[in-house]
Every structure is written in C-alpha cells, then in structure tokens.
C-alpha cells in the first residue's frame, strides 16, 4: 500500500468517525476539516457552512429562452478586514470509496460550473424571491448582494477526496462585473501534502517576467559557506500589490497572517505616504523581509535580475504589502510611483522551522510581529509537546490501558511520528497515541478561549482565535511560564474532553432542541455560558475529576445541554439589522446577550461544583511536589559527580576570575564531599554557578554524560 492509499483510507476513516461520533453529516465533517486547513493555509478567511443544492431556471437575454442549470455550494468565506475584499465560494465533494477515486477535467469543470451558476443565481432577484428566505442558501445570497459592491475578487474552490491530474491553483478565469475570478482545486494529493508536510503552495510560482511586468534588479548579499543565500532588491509598489492581488494572504507566513488578522486594519501612516508622498515611500518605509524555496536569477550584463520566485513568503512587512494592495483601488496612479525595498532569503525546507521564526522576530518592521507569541517553537508549545509525550492519561472507567494525548505543535508531526515505523511499531504507537487524542495549536486555542469565556473570539475562526490566544500566552508566560505546568496541561486535556463531548451532545440533540447548523458556535457559546455562570457563583467545574475519569461528567453534560439550547436561541435570533447568523456570532453583543440570560441548572450539577480555593491548592501542591523532586534530583547529582569534579569547576572558575565570594564558598564545600555536604539552599547556588560557568565555556565529561 503506497502513501496516498494509506492516507486515503485514514482520511476517510477520520471523517466518517467524526461524523458518527458527533451525529453530523459526513459532508459537514469534511467541510469543517478542509475549512480549517484552507484557513490555516491562508487560502480563505473564516469558513462558514452554508449548503445549497438545486436548479436555477434563468432566462437568456439574447433569445428569451429558459435554461435550467444545476447549482451548488457548501460554504463560503468573505473578508472582514479592510484590506481583504475577496469572496470565496466552496464546494465539497466527499464520497466514500474503497479505492482512490480519479476525477477528470470534465467532472472538475462541472463542479466549478455549479458554483458559477450559484453565484449568478445569488445576484438574481427572481431567484432570491423563489427560495425559502430562512434557508442557508437565501441568507448567503443576501450576504453576497449586500457585500457585492465592496468585493474586488471571487475565489471558487473545489475540495474533493478524489485524485485529479489537473493542477488548478489560483487559475485565472476572467472577470464577473469587473471582479477577477480564480479557480482552486484541493484534491486528495494536495490534502495529503498539507496534512503531512504543512505545504499547500505547490504551485505558488511567481513569474515576474511573464505575469507581473518584468524582472527586477537584484543584488547578491550573502557570503561564506555557512550563510543563507540572500539578496537585496527594490520592487515597484504596483508590482508587489499585483502579486498580492493574485495570491492574497497565502504570501504571508502563517504566523504573520494570524498577527494581521487579529488587528485587521490598513496602516494609516502607510496609506498617507502612498497617497500624499509616494516618491518618499522608500525612505520612510522599512520594506519587507521574505523567504523563498528557490529563485531564478540571470545576468543581463548590467547586473543581476530576478525573474521568478518559488513559494515566496513574506515574514515581515505583511502590513505594508496589504496596504499597497488596498491602494490599488484607492490610489492606483500614486502606487506606480511607490518603491519598496526587499530582503529575500532562500531558506532550505529542512531549516525553515528554525530559521524563519528568527528572521521574522529580528527583522525591523512597522508592525513588528512578536515571534514569541506565534511560532511553534515558542517555549509554551515545546512544553505542551513534552507533556503530551511523557504524561500518561488514566485508563478511565472503561479503558484497558493508559494512553497519551498527542499535541501537534507543528503541522505533520503526527503523520511523521506514525509513518516512520514498521507495522508492529505502528500498532504500538496507535495504542499509545490513539487518533482520538490528537489535537493541534488551533484546537488548544479553541478549548482555552471557550473556557476563558470568549466565544465571540472563537467564532472568528481558527487563525484569528489562535492569534488572540497566542497574544495572551505571550503576556502570561513571563520569565519561565511557571503556571503552565503539568497540572495546567492535565486541566487543558479535561477542557478538550468536555469540548468534544459537547460537540457530540449538540449533534445528538437534533431529536430534541438542535435545529442543525452553527454547531461550532453553539458549542463554544454553551461552554462559555456555563463557565461564566459557575464563576459568578464563586465555584468551579471539577476538571481534575474529568482528567481522572477521562470523560465528561454527567452533571456537567446536563448543564451544557441547557446552556447550549439557550445559546442556539440567541445565535439564531440576531438583533435588528444583523441578518447573517454567522456574523452575529462573531460579535461581542451576541455573547453579552447570552451571558445576561438567567438559567436554571440541575441540583446535581450545582452539588458537583468545587471551591476555587481547592482548585488553586491542588495546583500549588502539585507545583511544590514537582519543585521538591527537581531539587532532590539536583542535590543527588551534586553528590554523585563527586569532589574531583567540583575541584575542577572551582579551579576553572578561579582561573577565569568568574567566581563571586559566595560561589567560591559553596564550590569549596562541594570540593570537600563527602566530608562536607551542601545544604538545599547551597545546592541551588552551586547549580546556578555551574550554569554561569558553562555559559562562559566550561566543559567536562560529567556534564556531557548528564546531558
């Protein structure tokens, strides 16, 4: 079985398993999964489910004949930021098959045809009058009509579990009412590449010579065998804006994109410079810093020129780029006189995870991205990964063995860890890390922000919610993130258990109160409502018990059922002037409306709540136990390495004149082991001293063995 076949089986199994456990349509589960990928890859903004399928009878103007056309749409995304004016219509194609389905060009053309006809129908008053006004299709049509004048481009996306031979990625398909239209296909091969490698840009080749006005002069700026291949260039503002107009947010490295989405406004200073002093843009602006997989450079006799770039990613200067793009509409003539400096680094793929965050962190831009907030190698994410690899979850009431949850801090880790094993090893891996315990950075942010009572933020979508969460982690981390310990991790898993149980609860309520649709919003709002009400009572949900049982508590489920039912009532009934439900759920006013409602919870739930002081005490005791263990290990090691080692440390530090009087005293005690034994306080001092000396260059075989 080759890699694609195995991925096909696993992918289908995951979708059908999710649909079954959550009581959802398989197509809806597929849409949610693909929608998150498209959002994370920068293909779309927040995805929204809005399924409509049928026919449209339209009359041709030229001969008055009536044509019957099939129409279909599964969901959409529409930019909400000032610089984003793209409507994306998505049509999913999920069909179970034992073997990989093959899809040819005629089928792809047919699917795109259904999307195009839906777009035309949406703009037809006759069609809008004919469909049920409360249906998803009608609401989407209304949104398209209201937003039409603000749109610059249309993106049509097909997502399918079939394999296609065509590589359709941002393929230009002309214009509709002056708005550019592009086609995109996400087939099985492309989905596999993204899931396993985090790559969705296989066709992002920018041909400056052919498509964007010509090559640009470039200067080689690297030296030495160890240096990255780097260049300096000046690019015309109109040229850079045109490139962004085609590829959009996919040009922005994912964490920069998250940063911009969280703020979302065109920089006023940049805009004013473009409009009033375009010739001064280069002196005033810090330019952009970018990376690429490869470039095509030639020598014209007058110097080097850059003619094409593969997989360009702007890691700093995203605000500049987006502002230039906005100026295409507001100041097109001035834009031609704008020039932007660019530093371009060629980064090998195997180095990208380590190098690109540092480039973004150190580069100087107008809106500097705090890399510590966003990147997957931030200490917070590394610590969560370490916890997930070493902490066994209890087997629970019905379990047969302890298992671990798998935190994927970087796209593709799970697939890599599982794939590089023999069949026997893979079976063991699946037993230790069941698929049901897999979660990502955006999942973590969704769980945390729901319990932090920010359902309106969660409803903004995976990337914007993650950006909000990352910003808070950057603030709360402090020196060493002491509060993010094993207890915090276990309680995070409890929140994941409750969140996933709530998803199943809502889907199962279709026979009682759940009307279908907007489940993601209902879940986060329901959880936030319960947590908010419990906090008002000066109580807390017993997350430690959830961890021990590895399931949601019956009493908590009863409360969530009540809160989620009320959440649906609020979400489905927007305030006057706000017709679109998905947009209403993103508003703080929606959360305020639900938060202010009074609910009656069962006595069983109220009796099962715990005192917040007890919750804090458990965390403090666990932290004290952990500190004690670390101290004992440190003291034991000091004695174990022996007096000769510490004599060497003392002599080296003295020779380098690097010891304080206190350092000298404690090292002298250690150099007299076993006649003298350092106290616990002295042990801490000597270990700190050793760290300092290691930083100055001290080495020893005992240290290498310890590492």
Per-residue pLDDT at 347: 84
Hey, how many other C-beta atoms are within 10 angstroms of the C-beta on 546? 22
Exposure of 479 by Cβ count < 10 A (0-12 exposed, 13-18 middle, 19+ buried)? Answer: exposed
Q: What's the pLDDT score for residue 611?
A: 92
Which pLDDT value is given to residue 596? 96
Cβ neighbours of 326 (radius 10 Å) = 24
pLDDT confidence of residue 22? 62
Q: What would the two tokens of residue 224 be? A: 């030495």
Six token digits for residue 424: 């026997």
Measured CA to CA, the distance from residue 84 to residue 580 in angstroms comes to 19
| Residues forming beta bridges with residue 164, ordered by sequence position | 103
Position of tokens 């202010």?
596
The pLDDT score that the predictor gives to residue 102 is 92
The residue to which tokens 């922005």 are assigned: 252
pLDDT confidence of residue 38: 85
pLDDT value at residue 2: 66
Pairing of strands 102-103, 163-164: parallel
Whether 499 and 506 have beta carbons less than 8 Å apart is answered as: no
Angstrom distance (rounded) from CA 462 to CA 45 = 9
The Cα–Cα gap between 97 and 100 comes to 7
CA distances from 114 to 174, 447, 460 (A): 17, 36, 28
- State how far Cα 221 lies from the chain centre: 33
Around Cβ 399, how many Cβ atoms within 10 Å?
A: 13
* Predicted model pTM: 0.68
Q: What are phi and psi of 389, to 5 degrees?
A: -90, -20
Which residues are CB-neighbours of 653 under 8 A, at least 6 positions away?
659, 663, 664, 667, 689, 693, 698
**Residue-wise pLDDT tens digits, 610-641:** 998 988 877 776 665 555 445 555 677 788 78
Euclidean distance between CA atoms 340 and 241, whole angstroms: 11
Q: Are 369 and 360 in contact (CB under 8 A)?
A: yes
- What parts of the chain have a pLDDT lower than 70? 1-2, 21-23, 60-64, 80-84, 166-168, 170, 197-203, 223-227, 253-267, 349-377, 397-400, 479-480, 621-634, 704-707
CA dist., res. 501 & res. 486, Å (int): 23
State the Cα–Cα distance between residues 415 and 191, nearest whole angstrom: 13
What residue spans define the domains of the chain? 3-196, 205-366, 379-610, 621-703
Q: How many CB atoms lie within 10 A of CB 97?
A: 10
């Amino acid at each position: 079985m080759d890699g694609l076949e195995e991925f096909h089986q696993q992918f289908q199994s995951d979708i059908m398993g999710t649909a079954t456990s959550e009581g959802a349509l398989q197509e809806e589960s597929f849409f949610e999964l693909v929608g998150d990928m498209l959002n994370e890859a920068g293909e779309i903004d927040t995805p929204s489910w809005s399924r409509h399928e049928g026919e449209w009878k339209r009359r041709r103007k030229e001969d008055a004949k009536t044509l019957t056309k099939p129409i279909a749409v599964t969901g959409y995304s529409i930019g909400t930021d000032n610089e984003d004016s793209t409507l994306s219509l998505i049509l999913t194609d999920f069909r179970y098959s034992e073997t990989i389905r093959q899809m040819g060009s005629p089928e792809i053309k047919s699917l795109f045809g259904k999307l195009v006809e839906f777009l035309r129908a949406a703009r037809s008053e006759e069609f809008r009058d004919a469909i049920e006004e409360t249906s998803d299709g009608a609401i989407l049509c209304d949104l398209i009509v209201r937003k039409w004048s603000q749109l610059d481009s249309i993106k049509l996306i097909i997502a399918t579990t079939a394999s296609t031979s065509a590589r359709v990625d941002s393929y230009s398909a002309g214009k509709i009412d002056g708005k550019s239209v592009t086609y995109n296909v996400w087939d099985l091969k492309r989905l596999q590449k993204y899931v396993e490698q985090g790559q969705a840009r296989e066709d992002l080749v920018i041909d400056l010579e052919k498509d964007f006005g010509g090559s640009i002069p470039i200067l080689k700026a690297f030296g030495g065998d160890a240096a990255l291949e780097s260049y300096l260039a000046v690019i015309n503002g109109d040229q850079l804006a045109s490139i962004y107009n085609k590829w959009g947010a996919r040009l922005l490295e994912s964490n920069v994109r998250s940063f911009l989405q969280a703020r979302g406004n065109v920089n006023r200073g940049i805009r004013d410079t473009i409009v009033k002093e375009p010739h001064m843009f280069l002196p005033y602006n810090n330019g952009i810093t970018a990376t690429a997989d490869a470039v095509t450079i030639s020598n014209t006799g007058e110097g080097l020129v850059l003619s094409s770039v593969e997989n360009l990613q702007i890691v700093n200067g995203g605000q500049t780029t987006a502002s230039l793009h906005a100026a295409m509409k507001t100041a097109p003539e001035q834009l031609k006189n704008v020039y932007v400096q660019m530093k371009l680094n060629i980064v090998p793929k195997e180095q990208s995870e380590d190098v690109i965050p540092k480039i973004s962190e150190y580069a100087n831009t107008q809106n500097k991205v705090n890399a510590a907030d966003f990147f997957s190698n931030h200490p917070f994410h590394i610590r969560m990964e370490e916890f997930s690899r070493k902490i066994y979850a209890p087997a629970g009431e019905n379990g047969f063995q302890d298992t671990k949850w798998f935190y994927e801090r970087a796209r593709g880790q799970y697939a890599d860890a599982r794939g590089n094993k023999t069949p026997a090893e893979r079976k063991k891996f699946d037993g230790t890390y069941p698929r049901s315990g897999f979660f990502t950075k955006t999942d973590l942010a969704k769980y945390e922000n729901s319990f932090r009572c920010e359902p309106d933020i969660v409803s903004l979508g995976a990337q914007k919610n993650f950006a909000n969460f990352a910003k808070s982690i950057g603030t709360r981390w402090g020196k060493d993130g002491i509060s993010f310990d094993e207890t915090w991790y276990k309680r995070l898993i409890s929140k994941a258990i409750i969140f996933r149980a709530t998803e199943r609860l809502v889907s199962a309520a279709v026979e009682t109160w759940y009307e279908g649709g907007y489940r993601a919003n209902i879940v986060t709002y329901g959880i936030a409502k319960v947590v908010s009400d419990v906090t008002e009572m000066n109580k807390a949900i017993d997350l430690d018990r959830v961890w021990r049982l590895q399931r949601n508590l019956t009493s908590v489920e009863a409360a969530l059922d009540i809160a989620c039912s009320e959440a649906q009532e609020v979400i489905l009934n927007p305030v006057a002037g706000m017709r679109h439900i998905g947009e209403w759920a993103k508003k703080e006013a929606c959360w305020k409306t639900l938060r202010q409602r009074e609910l009656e919870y069962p006595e069983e739930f109220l009796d099962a709540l715990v005192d917040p002081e007890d919750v804090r005490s458990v965390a403090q005791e666990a932290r004290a136990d952990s500190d004690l263990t670390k101290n004992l290990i440190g003291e034991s090691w000091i004695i174990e390495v022996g007096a000769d080692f510490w004599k060497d440390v003392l002599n080296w530090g003295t020779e380098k004149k690097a010891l304080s009087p206190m350092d000298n005293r404690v090292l002298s005690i250690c150099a007299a082991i076993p006649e003298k034994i350092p106290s616990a306080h002295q042990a801490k001092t000597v270990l700190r001293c050793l760290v300092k000396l290691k930083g100055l260059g001290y080495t020893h075989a005992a240290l290498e063995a310890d590492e």
